[in-house]
Structure 1
């Protein structure tokens, strides 16, 4: 993608799908699920113009059709960051998503490459660069901030050409990555299954973060405008209809998974579902059980020094499969744990939650309560 702007994806890590339900929506009220559709580029930012096609136009038309299909085939609420040809700052796109308290953010773009032979649809989530191509794309597309007035103050010194800037932002906003990958996989599989598109798989790269956005996010690359055949397809009414319906189906399927019986059962095992029971026992001191605050989970191992965790002390970590989980504190009562959790949330760990351990093994909090009723 050689367009000036792209990749408005912030994805923050979580640890289990049960934590999904700590968000504002209820599994008994699916109509509360909100998706924000972000048509890339716009106004004086045309995006890439491979073979004379306009990315900003294709992204907008496809986004509108995605929203129309969703509204006609589900009770998901749809919000657009733009519904006409206008330039929207990165920070404003984030604000739109935050003000709506969205559950999913989807950014729509078209790709480009030096070789006209490259083709296929793909999805991106935020992550550290796996190769030089991903780094090059991220640096190029993040440079859209230079089109904005007061970009230095808006983005607090973020330098799209400095990999360290990207890495620091990724570490700050890892909480929803697991959910973002799940959503991206659902959309990617929809491309392959419904349209037999080439599977370019879900990729990670350090695109400029919507730093104040708090929801799973996916960037969709519809295909390559630099491939003449694919560009013509994406620019056609038939191509946009097929692509928009396929993406919309992926979004609906993702939402439905969240409300499936598997996810509902996982929710019952979370602290969120157990709060009422726990309140009556929250002052009990356990001799063989400790409570810790899970801050985040990530596939990347990192030092537990204070500077990596907003200067919090007593940080520990464990590895479960390929995922590293990071915890704060170790206390004997649920009351103390609640205070630690509140502190962590105030410092920016918005999705931190309480975990119980017995003999250094994680146990369900419900077991702690049920065994003491």
Structure 2
């Protein structure tokens, strides 16, 4: 009896110790998540010798700058967000330099702000992500925004044969530049939702096309078209303090919601037990509308890449393990091969779940 009591006391002490250690780990994990600073790069389109479009006498470069600065001002109030601007005044910045600023800062998100134009009385706000193909109308928008390349010094060398007036150049992309498509679509949808439902702007939807400024970045990126300066009513709205403030608020709120979603994906250990569940981890290295053979030579030497159809996209996974520790090694391998934005995904009995949820289950 005494021996049993002693054993029970030892067990109780160990359990208490475990709980203390667990709570300490949990606190550290939450603290790390809370202290992480998310870097957002705000890119005001055009500038300096490049005025952008001049519909009805309004200057795109000025409106884009004012909105970008307002977005930054609203986000700078958040302690967990760091804002970097590609320009804060009326200067010309090469497209490659805009992307280089974001890449050098290891940004979590890149948002490029523009105003649209058209020969008709078109109106409404739209958000673009990098994509392989678009319809003829989207292609013309991409070509207009990319035309600034021709104003840059030595653009032939910088862009390696990229011709902003060529459909082939506008459409051509590498798989690596689509790795962030899922996250880009997420932030684009949040921005577009705020435009359409909070501000009641005409919804021109989230679309994909090949904007050179997005091609230059290696993180989730979107290009926002605030509206059409060629439409007198919309042009006046976008040129007004009220319109700029409202559009900036819509973008800022969407960005912060996106940051909150990133926080939810932070790995947090849990003591909670559940019944038997089959958990499998994989590393997502890319998402694309292109169907690419999962051969080693197509994926920088990575072996056993898996291609899965998800809606209109093909997702490419590397690694396949029930061990989170092992899949972390696979993630490291993928990043060493150049897939810098690869990330871990989890599946429960064949269905995708969050990594956070998977880590709460036993045997992880």
Q: TM exceeds 0.5?
A: yes
User: What TM-score, normalized to structure 2?
Assistant: 0.76
More deviation in 83-92 or 67-76? 67-76
Contact 1:170/1:206, CA 8 A, preserved across alignment: no
Superposition RMSD in Å: 3.5
Q: Which residue of 2 aligns with 1:111?
A: 116
Q: Which residue of 2 aligns with 1:19?
A: none
Consecutive unaligned residues of structure 1, counting only runs of 5 or more, are 1-24, 275-287
Give the drift of 1:185: 1.2
Q: Which residue of 2 aligns with 1:89?
A: 94
Give the drift of 1:348: 1.6
In the aligned structure 2, how far is the partner of 1:42 from the partner of 1:234? 17
Give the drift of 1:216: 1.2
Give the drift of 1:174: 1.1
In the aligned structure 1, how far is the partner of 2:78 from the partner of 2:311? 38
Secondary structure in structure 1 of the residue aligned to 2:212: coil
* 1:67 and 2:72 are equivalent in the alignment: yes
Q: Which residue of 2 aligns with 1:6?
A: none
Contact 1:111/1:225, CA 8 A, preserved across alignment: yes
In the aligned structure 1, how far is the partner of 2:213 from the partner of 2:174? 8
Contact 2:129/2:207, CA 8 A, preserved across alignment: yes
Q: Quick one: structure 1 residues 331 and 235, their matched pair in 2 at CA, closer, same or farther if it must change by over 3 Å? A: closer
Give the drift of 1:188: 1.2
Q: Which residue of 2 aligns with 1:196?
A: 200
Q: Which residue of 1 aligns with 2:337?
A: 347
Q: Which residue of 2 aligns with 1:14?
A: none
* 1:303 and 2:293 are equivalent in the alignment: yes
Give the drift of 1:320: 4.2
* 1:36 and 2:41 are equivalent in the alignment: yes
Aligned residue runs from structure 1 range 313-324, under 5 A: 313-324=303-314
Quick check: which has more Rg, 1 or 2? 2
In the aligned structure 1, how far is the partner of 2:319 from the partner of 2:260? 36
Consecutive unaligned residues of structure 2, counting only runs of 5 or more, are 1-30, 271-277
Aligned residue runs from structure 1 range 230-241, under 5 A: 230-241=234-245
* 1:77 and 2:90 are equivalent in the alignment: no
Count of residue pairs the alignment pairs up: 325
Give the drift of 1:68: 1.4
More deviation in 122-131 or 210-219? 210-219
In the aligned structure 1, how far is the partner of 2:167 from the partner of 2:185? 22
Q: Which residue of 2 aligns with 1:58?
A: 63
Give the drift of 1:314: 3.7
In the aligned structure 2, how far is the partner of 1:339 from the partner of 1:249? 36
